[in-house]
Structure formats: structure tokens, C-alpha cells
Structure 1
Amino acid sequence: MKSKFNIKTVFTTLAIVLGIATTSAQEVQNYDQGFRLGVGINGGLPLDNPYDFSLGADARLQYDLSQKYSLTLTTGFSNMFVSGDNNDLGYIPAKAGFKAFVLKDQLYVMGEIGAAFAVTNGYNDTSLLLSPAIGYATDKIDISLRYEHFNDFPVIKNDVVKDGLGQISLRLAYGFKL
């Protein structure tokens, strides 16, 4: 049996292989890993008595691992206001987190864990602080909605003082590269 070697077949096969290789190869983009700093204000609605609302300010240091994933460190000061004779609760949060962009590098989900250090009006508890969030960020603006759970801060349920405060909070921030 005689094999036929045709130059047209070789070039056609080569063209198909090169066409497939170039259409399926992804262009590698260099993404500058680095730090960002965000400064924000936040307002919240505590879900338990005796707290009426909260206001605060924070600073978030963010290290971009890639275009989609970042590590975060957040601190600041927040105050939960109480009407009546009870004292307000001021605290300093210290949280570490992970942020993942899920839609067009602007919509993200984030989870943070840390501690909240009570610092005002006779409160001296430190509480575990858990905080999942969803947000929208551009190069300069960051808007997020989060739930925060304070394991050891006091609440009043059915006229009994218990631990375990939850709140919904909105954060508006300005961010920039360092």
C-alpha cells in the first residue's frame, strides 16, 4: 500500500491547528497586585433592643491578590445609640476579610471576621464580630450592605438581658490605590 503525502493536506491541517490554538489561547493580562485604602461612613439599624440606630466611620486596607480576589483589614469607630436612660454603646471593630468580585469586576461578596472592642459608657466587653456583605465598587466609590453579628454585646429580649446583637449596615466609601 502506497501512502500519499500531499502538501495541501499538510498546510490545511496546520492552518486548522493554528486557528484552534489561537482562538482558544487566552491572553494573559498582567494585573498589578497592590494595596488600596478606603475611607467610609456607615449607618446601621440594630435588630435588637435597646438600640435605635448606629453611625460610624471606618478605614479599610485592601490587598488585591488578583483582579477578582482581595484580602481586607477594617477598623474604625461606631456608636450604637440608645434612647432613654440606657447608655450608648461605642466600639472599635477590627476585622480581617476576603472579597470576591462576581460580576464585571464591580459587584462583590465579602466575608469578615474579627472583634469589636467596646470603649464607651462603662461597657468593657470584647465581642466576636462576624460580617458578610454584598457590595458595588468602582475605581473610587464603594457601596456595600452588610449584616453584622456581635456575639457578646447585650440585648434585651422579653425583658431579659441576653448576648447576641445583630444589625444591618450600609457603608459608603471612597477608595484609592496606595
Structure 2
Amino acid sequence: MKKIVTIAIIILAGFATRSHAQGFKLGLGVEGALPVGALKSAYNVGAGLTIRAAFGIDDASAVTLTSGAIAFLPKDLSNLGIDTKAQLNIPVKAGYKYKFGGNFYGIAEAGATIVRSYYSDSNGDLQSVGSTHFTYAPGVGVELGGFDASIRYEGYQGAGFMGLRVGFNF
């Protein structure tokens, strides 16, 4: 897990030396997430931070690289004998972004999400289980100057969430 995140950071840092004239943008975003599918049965909402690099191909399109962390807050499942704590998702996605005209764009990304779920065992000790899943995330958004807002569906392994990202591009 640490290796994937480290590699993503090194790639982003390497491309950060490119100038804006070459079509490079780096954006930081705040995420909000509403679980759907299997994820909805155990978690209410999620929130996190992401970083997105966009490498311009031409005036209308760019290749993207996105990573960050999104934490999901659990529902109360104590009536089922389950003491769920939280789930942490760390996506590492590459994609394509296309401006439709004006400030609106479509984006499609795919990659891997590292999922770490936390729970209490029968002794009350905190435990966790982890896995990595193929992830896909189609969405639409709008850019106004450096401000960037988008909505997407992000899915993996029979679960997923509707995500809202509000960020700023440098």
C-alpha cells in the first residue's frame, strides 16, 4: 500500500516541475461521499482529501492521475453483533478528462483502491482487514478559474459511492 502511494507521489512531484504553459495542473480537493450498493449496508457517509494532476494533451483534453484518502463512517450495527469502526479507501487512478465546451467537462478514471476496514473483535480490540480492488469512476464537472467541482460514481467489487469533489487547481 505504501509503495503504491509513494510511487504516485513521486510521479506527481516529477510532473510538477512542468510549467502551466505545457498544460500541467495540480489540484487539491475535498471529497464528500454517499455509499451505494454493499457499502451502504455498513456505512453512512464518507469524506476525505484528494490530489489530482492533469497533463494537458490539447485545449480540450487531459490525462489525469488522482490519489488521496476517503474515510467512511459506520452505521450502528450493534443489534447484529457487529462493531464496525470505519473504512479507509485510498484510490490510485489514471484517467482522461475532456472539456465539452465552456467550463464543463467529463472525466473517466480507472485504477486500484486500497480498502482498509476497521472493527472491534470479541475482546474489544481494534482489528483491521485490507484488500485492493479494481476501481472505475466516471463523472462530470465544471471549472471556473482555479475552482473545480465534480460529481462521480466510483465503483469497486460490488460496492461504491456517489462522490462530490470540490477543489482548487494550481
* Superposed structure 1 runs of 4+ greater than 3 Å apart: none
Query: Number of aligned pairs?
Result: 133
Unpaired runs of 5+ in structure 2? 1-19, 77-82, 119-127
Cα RMSD, aligned residues only: 1.4
Q: Which residue of 1 aligns with 2:169?
A: 175
Specify which of 97, 100, 104 is matched with residue 99 of structure 1: 97
The structure having more radius of gyration, on CA atoms, is 1
TM-score, normalised on structure 2? 0.74
Task: State whether structure 2 residue 59 is matched by structure 1 residue 61.
Answer: no
Q: 1:50 to 1:120 in 2, by over 3 A?
A: closer
Specify which of 141, 150, 163 is matched with residue 144 of structure 1: 150
Q: Which residue of 1 aligns with 2:15?
A: none
Structure-to-structure mapping, 1:14-163, within 5 angstroms: 32-47=21-36, 48-84=40-76, 85-104=83-102, 106-119=103-116, 121=118, 122-151=128-157
Q: More helix by proportion, 1 or 2? A: 2
- Contact kept, 8 Å, 1:33 with 1:66, in 2: the verdict is no
SS at match of 1:56: strand
SS at match of 2:141: strand
Structure 2 Cα separation of the partners of residues 67 and 54 of structure 1: 34
1:77-111 deviation line (CA, Å, top 9, x unaligned): 1111112221311021100000000021x100000
> How far off is 1:141 after superposition?
0.4
Structure 2 Cα separation of the partners of residues 87 and 115 of structure 1: 23
Task: State whether structure 2 residue 160 is matched by structure 1 residue 166.
Answer: yes
TM-score, normalised on structure 1? 0.71
Q: More strand by proportion, 1 or 2? A: 2
